[in-house]
Amino acid sequence: DAGVIQSPRHEVTEMGQEVTLRCKPISGHDYLFWYRQTMMRGLELLIYFNNNVPIDDSGMPEDRFSAKMPNASFSTLKIQPSEPRDSAVYFCASSLAYGEGTDTQYFGPGTRLTVL
């Protein structure tokens, strides 16, 4: 398996623009997680899905952020409108279902977002 795939790897945009980050989890994994990493706040969990259903979005910073998982092999994280303080590295991770090794998360390489 190719592992968790994220695109784009780098994104530079201007304040006010819409940004869409994409993630393809490992085939067969039931859980998908979105994280944000910054120097100031470290690694933060934004939202996670189980079988394409959002379970906990309490980490989503505000209404400008939204995430979807239309099927088992694809998820998006959208920021609209983007702001300079959204600049960070965004990671996607996936894991197996409970009882099958749900404890280990596999991370993608991340998307480095810069909002000017």
Partner 1 sequence: AQSVTQPDIHITVSEGASLELRCNYSYGATPYLFWYVQSPGQGLQLLLKYFSGDTLVQGIKGFEAEFKRSQSSFNLRKPSVHWSDAAEYFCAVGAFSGGSYIPTFGRGTSLIVHP
- For residue 8, give both structure tokens: 């784009």
Using the minimum distance from each CB to partner 1, give the nearer residue, 81 or 87.
87
Q: Quote the least distance from Cβ 50 to partner 1, whole Å.
A: 6
Q: Quote the least distance from Cβ 70 to partner 1, whole Å.
A: 20
> C-alpha angle 34/73/87, rounded to 5°?
30
- With 0-12 / 13-18 / 19 or more C-beta atoms within 10 angstroms meaning exposed / middle / buried, residue 81 is middle
Using the minimum distance from each CB to partner 1, give the nearer residue, 51 or 80.
51
Q: Quote the least distance from Cβ 33 to partner 1, whole Å.
A: 8
Using the minimum distance from each CB to partner 1, give the nearer residue, 81 or 107.
107
> Where are the strands (E) in 27-86, listed by range?
31-38, 42-50, 53-56, 65-71, 74-79
User: What residues line the site for partner 1 (CB under 8 A)?
Assistant: 4, 31, 42-43, 45, 48, 50, 55-56, 91, 93, 95, 97-98, 102-105, 107-110
- For residue 44, give both structure tokens: 């933060």
Using the minimum distance from each CB to partner 1, give the nearer residue, 3 or 16.
3
